[in-house]
Chains A and B, each alone.
Chain A
Amino acid sequence: MSALPTQRWSKLEIGFWLIPMVAFFVFPKYLTLGSQILIAALFALSLDLILGYARIISLGHAAFFGIGAYTAGLLAKYGWGEPISGLVAAAAVATLTGLVTSFLVVRGQDLTRLMVTLGIGLMFYEIANQASWLTGGVDGLSGVEMKKLFGVFSFGLDGRTAYLYSLAVLFVVFCFARTLVRSPFGLSLRGIREGERRMPAIGASVPRKLIAVYTVGAGIAGVAGALLAQTTQFVGIDSLGFPRSAELMIMLILGGTGYLYGALLGAALFMLLQDYLSNLNPVYWQFWLGLLLVLIVLFARGGLMGGFIALRRRFARGRS
């Protein structure tokens, strides 16, 4: 790893990003599901930054998602329904919260971090629950009224605006994350991942870098939450809850950590599977989902991306 990795986009990547655009025209009836997949992908991306690149296992990441969602939702409820400034505000609040809590998270090992993040997440959940005069408590925040995007496109039943809006935000944030992980900062994170104790020897402050990446991850999660609040015009308290953090973790591991694309693939596969299976059998679909997860672990270590890379390697070896 002598030179910086290239920032150029490969054909495979460009092809990947064409898929959601083509999907918009091919599946006009599935755009609501599509927009929620895109939001989940963005959320998974934010966790990949901190889990895939900094090896901080977080089971409380939904805290930032929920904070973003409540920020955007409350702004819109009390008259500030302009979507893009709502996103920015949500990102700011989530980033700040991320920064404040990051100091608690940086200490300790895997299991400790897991539980500290979990504990922080549960505390935010309780706060939202107690402050029901503001958040609506367990009944959720309703009455979120969005203005038209750019004053032109309204968020309607067909989900067109929601889909394109989510896709655009996902792409912009993805470009940012991609640049980040390929920068010198991103490389030093990779160094931490591979050998946390060796990094100080080459003059890198580990905690400060971890704090930075945790904060960025929190901010992006906030954007994802805000997107969900804006496109569904409702914020449920479950957006802060532990099940959401756990589900997110499943999506990311399913896709493979530390590639960015793994997050997107994992979220898409998980959501599509869930939708498909629960349509087949609304009562026992979880069984088949669980079985698939088990099979994937048994046959493709490191998630979809891990399996994909192993396959490619085998293919290349077969040719040479």
Chain B
Amino acid sequence: MLGNFIGVLFDGVAYGSLLFIISIGLSVTMGLMNFVNLAHGAFAMVGGYACVVVMTRLGVPFLASLPIAFVAAAAAGIVLERSLYRRLYRATHLDQVLFSIGLVFMSIAATTYFFGPQQQPVQLPEFLRGQVHVLGLDLGTYRLFLIAVVIIITVALTWLIERTRFGAEIRASVDNQQASAGLGINVYRVFSLTFALGSGLAGLGGGLGIDVLGLDPTFPLKYMVYFLLVVAVGGAGTIKGPLFAALILGIFDVAGKYYVPQVGAFVIYVAMVVLLIVFPHGLAGRRT
């Protein structure tokens, strides 16, 4: 019984890790740049398809395809930021919603055109498949891998934003654009890079997620709710908030489905509503 429980906990943490990787980019754009980017999933999809294409057509191994996914999505992010998103920083949130939904529709149709509507295959390398035995427990290898990736990303991001010059520039630009520009910070460049970072993380998540979530053209719409969920519960603009939120929601979801499969789908929504009512500004949100 206890073994089951630890197994469930492990799966929940792994599932939460995946939610975190995919959503953290949105927390960056929404919290730091105050842009409601519902097209976040489209960048994840770009990463996912980049993975599949280099793996199936060029024979690149899975692990090597992940950085490519990051770069592809980040590049798409920079291009769109420079050409379109930049014009809308001062628009209302509602206009931003309409704009980014428009992008989602376009990305879905374009992906269907180029790749067809079916699920895309991904072949994990042998050493990431199956299970490993640890202290009498069967743990999924790929899930362990996901958790490891999350730990690396969290540490790297925290270091980037809190310890580097670039991070300081981001924080300054967010707090006061005019003053930052006056201090010689190129605010536009900082925002471009931040946006690229957010998109790149989404792309990485898209690539990592194929094996669990699947990949087809409706991806950006299908999982939009999950991205928003993690960011809203965690509080936009932080790293810790979405991390805790993703883990809690992942554990609740897996535990709900395991112990009470009859009402499994309820659990995650109930958890979300309760968390939001108790913490209206998110777990790590700044109170105003």
A residues neighboring B (CB under 8 Å): 57, 104, 107-112, 114-116, 118-120, 122-123, 126, 129-130, 242-243, 246, 249-250, 253-254, 257, 283-287, 289-294, 296-298, 301-303
> Within 8 Å CB of A104, what residues of B?
273, 277
Known: A290-B104, A302-B95. 6 other contacts (CB 8 A): A111-B232, A115-B272, A116-B277, A246-B101, A250-B101, A283-B112
| SS class, residues of chain A in contact with chain B | helix
Cβ contact within 8 Å between A126 and B273? no
Which of B98, B107, B270, B277 sits near A250, CB closer than 8 Å?
B98
How near does chain B come to A283, taking the closest CB pair, in angstroms?
7
Mask of B252-288 contacts with A, CB within 8 angstroms, 1/0: 0000000000110110011011001100111000001
**27 A-B pairs whose Cβ atoms sit less than 8 Å apart in the complex:** A57-B93, A109-B280, A109-B288, A111-B30, A111-B282, A112-B280, A114-B228, A114-B232, A119-B270, A119-B272, A122-B225, A123-B266, A126-B266, A254-B98, A286-B108, A287-B105, A287-B110, A287-B113, A289-B105, A290-B103, A293-B98, A293-B105, A294-B84, A298-B84, A298-B88, A301-B91, A302-B92
> Within 8 Å CB of A119, what residues of B?
269-270, 272-273, 276
Which of A129, A290, A301 sits near B105, CB closer than 8 Å?
A290
> Within 8 Å CB of A107, what residues of B?
277, 280
Q: How far is the CA of A104 from the CA of B275 in the complex (A)?
A: 12
> Within 8 Å CB of B102, what residues of A?
289-294, 297
How near does chain A come to B279, taking the closest CB pair, in angstroms?
9
Q: How far is the CA of A104 from the CA of B288 in the complex (A)?
A: 19
How near does chain B come to A91, taking the closest CB pair, in angstroms?
25
> Within 8 Å CB of A249, what residues of B?
97
Q: A107-B277, A114-B228, A246-B101 are in contact. Are A257 and B94 (CB under 8 A)?
A: yes
Q: A250-B98, A293-B101, A297-B99 are in contact. Are A108 and B281 (CB under 8 A)?
A: yes
> Within 8 Å CB of B94, what residues of A?
253, 257
B residues neighboring A (CB under 8 Å): 30, 84, 87-88, 91-99, 101-110, 112-113, 221, 225, 228-229, 231-233, 236, 262-263, 265-266, 269-270, 272-273, 276-277, 280-282, 288
Cβ contact within 8 Å between A115 and B276? yes
How near does chain A come to B192, taking the closest CB pair, in angstroms?
19
How near does chain A come to B21, taking the closest CB pair, in angstroms?
20
Q: How far is the CA of A114 from the CA of B94 in the complex (A)?
A: 12
> Within 8 Å CB of A120, what residues of B?
273
Q: How far is the CA of A113 from the CA of B103 in the complex (A)?
A: 24
Q: Which residue of A lies closest to B38 (CB)?
A: A246
Q: How far is the CA of A298 from the CA of B102 in the complex (A)?
A: 11
Cβ contact within 8 Å between A290 and B106? yes
Q: How far is the CA of A222 from the CA of B263 in the complex (A)?
A: 26
How near does chain B come to A242, taking the closest CB pair, in angstroms?
6
Q: Which residue of A lies closest to B94 (CB)?
A: A253
How near does chain B come to A302, taking the closest CB pair, in angstroms?
7
